[in-house]
Every structure is written in structure tokens, then in C-alpha cells.
Amino acid sequence: MTYDYNTQRKRMALPEYGRNVQKMVDHIKTIEDREERNRAAKTIIQIMGNLNPQIRDIGDFKHKLWDHLSIIADFNLSIDSPFPTPEREKFIERPRQVPYRQGDIRFLHYGRIIELMIDAAIEMEEGKDKEYLTNLIVNQMKKSYITWNRSQVSDEVIINDLKFLSRGRLKITEGIRILEVKELIPPVKKKPQQGKPQGNRPNKPFNKKKIHNRH
């Protein structure tokens, strides 16, 4: 006896349409008459739309279905499609690599945004705006430190890191206030469990069962 396992079958390009749709597409590729092949393709498109009604929410969903038909047919189906046939190369080409600077962030737990903010604050003229931005920076540094290191940190450490990152050009003035940990990251309030009464439950009286001795 031979068994038919999915692992032994032909790999489906789009498994969400199922094995039967894959078989139908493979079959119409063998139809010699072009008109009959076009009619069969339109029928399969209707079946595909019924199997995946969520595609109808996508703009121009019919174009999507015809593209899926070409993918299932391995881009080897000669029919008169109402839309341009997609190119295989567009589906197999690798996406372009997004450039990202690495290796030069001094403190990973602060991140590059903090360094950019420090550079912007350095270029500002002395005054309330610079003091306000510096105040935001040191508090964000403390919050990031606690978030990523999961430990307490003294204000002295944050101030020293600020001096290092700013090359000594940013200073903590009297108008700058470093917040406490509970102000930066407030504690999470526990929600009461649903379905359970609050408070102490009254104790039920304990009823002793009478025991009858048999003689």
C-alpha cells in the first residue's frame, strides 16, 4: 500500500488557496485551446475570490487575484489576462539594504537619538531654551538607563555621562531638575482579579455530621 503524504506532493506557491486550486491551475496549463483555457482561468479566479473573501477589502483585488494565479502557475500560463502579467524577478529579488550606522554609539542604552539631541543642544545659545532641552536630555538619559539596565542609577552617573557625551560643553544649571525614578517610570497598578469578591469572606459554620455507631 502506498500513502500520499503532503511532503511528497508538489510544493504549493500559495498554500492559502489549497491543493485543489493548485491542481486546477496545473490542469489548465495542459489545455491546448486558448479560449477554453481563458474560460477556465476566469472560473479559477472566481473560486480563488470565494476562498479568500478578505482580499476583496484590498483595493483592486481582482488584479491581486490574477497576480496570484500567475504565481500559482509558476509564471508559465499563457492566457489573456486583463492585467499585465507580473515578472518573476520582482518576487525573487532581494530587498535593498537599509543603511544603518553601527559601531560608533558610545552608550547603547542611551542610543543615537540622545547623542543627536546633545549635539543640537551644544549648538544652541545660552538661555532658557538650551536649559529646557538639557533638562529633557538628562531625564531621558536616566529613564533609558533604568529601562535597559533594570537597576537604580545615581544622578552623578547621569551627569558624568552627559559631560562625556557633550565633551564638557553642557552643564547642569540651577533650573535643571533630575526627576526621581518613580516620576520617570510610575509603578504599574495591579488590576483586581475579576470574578472574585473583594475583602474577607465570612467563614461558613462547620457542621459536624452525626456519626451513628452500629452495635
When pLDDT is cut at 50, 70 and 90, the band that residue 212 belongs to is low
Number of Cα atoms under 13 Å in the Cβ half of residue 115: 12
Nearest to 132 by CA among 183, 87, 173, 76: 173
Highest mean pLDDT among 25-34, 91-100, 142-151: 25-34
Q: Which cell is 16 given?
A: 492559502
For every residue of 109-151, which 3-state class applies, written as one string? CCHHHHHHHHHHHHHCCCCHHHHHHHHHHHHHHHHHHHHHHCC
Residue of 122, 146, 143, 133 whose CA lies nearest to 175 = 133
Top pLDDT among 61 and 205 is at: 61
Cα 66–chain centre separation: 29
Q: Of 103 and 107, which is predicted with more confidence? A: 107
User: Among 162, 169, 173, which Cα is nearest to 122's?
Assistant: 169
pTM over 0.75: no
What's the pLDDT score for residue 200? Answer: 55
- For 163-176, the pLDDT digits (tens) are 999 999 998 888 88
Average pLDDT, the chain: 82
- At 175 the pLDDT is 83
pLDDT of residue 203: 55
Residue 53 CA to residue 13 CA, distance in Å, equals: 19
**Most confident listed range (13-17, 28-32, 101-105, 210-214):** 28-32
